Amino acid sequence: MNTKLNVEIRKFKKEDNKEVRGLITDIMKSEFSDVLGAFPADDLENISDYYCKAGEAFFVALLDGKIIGSIGVKQEDDRTALVRRIFVSPELRGKKVGRELLDKAIEFCREVGYQELVFKTTSKMKDAINLFENKGFSEKAHLQLGNVDLYKLTYFIRENSPFSR
C-alpha cells in the first residue's frame, strides 16, 4: 500500500551527522555488502564539510523527528550536479519518501542554475534506478563490470538547455 507519510524534508545540520552516517552504513552493510568497495564513505565522516560549497547541499527526510532518508547534491562542474547518497529506511520504502527527496534535490539544482543532474549507481540499486527513471532520468552510460552493471543516468533541468533531449 502506497500511503503518503507526513515527512519533513530539510537541509542537513551538523548534529545530524551521526544519525545519517548510521542510516547509510546500516543500509550499505545489510543490502550492498558485496559492492561496498565501490562506494567510498569519506563524505560520511563530515557531511557538512563535504557538501559545503556553493551549489551543493545535503537534505534529510524526517518522520517524527527521526532521520529516515537522505540525498546529497555535489557539484561536478558549472552546469552539472551529481546526486549522491539517496537512501530511505527499508521499512519506509514505497511511501514516496525517495521521490520527495529527489524532488527537493531537483528543486535545489534548478534554483542554483544547474542544467543537468547526474546519478551514478550499480545494478544492485534497482529501486533507486526505477525511481530516477520514473522521474525522467535517462540512461547515458552502462558498463558491465563482473557481476555488477554500472549506470549513469541524467536529467536535464532546463528545458531550453542546448544539451536537453
Write down the mean pLDDT value for the chain.
89
Query: How is the chain split into domains, by residue range?
Result: 8-156
What separation in angstroms does the CA of 77 have from each of 4, 48, 89? 35, 20, 31
pLDDT of residue 34 exceeding 80, the answer is no
- pLDDT tens, residue by residue, 108-120: 999 999 999 999 9
Fold classified for 8-156: Aminopeptidase (3.40.630)
Predicted TM-score (pTM) of the model is 0.89
**pLDDT bracket for residue 92 (50, 70, 90):** very high
pLDDT of residue 142 exceeding 90, the answer is no
Q: Name the packing angle between helices 126-135 and 97-112 (round to 10°).
A: 50
pLDDT of residue 163 exceeding 60, the answer is no
Amino acid at 102: L
**pLDDT bracket for residue 159 (50, 70, 90):** low
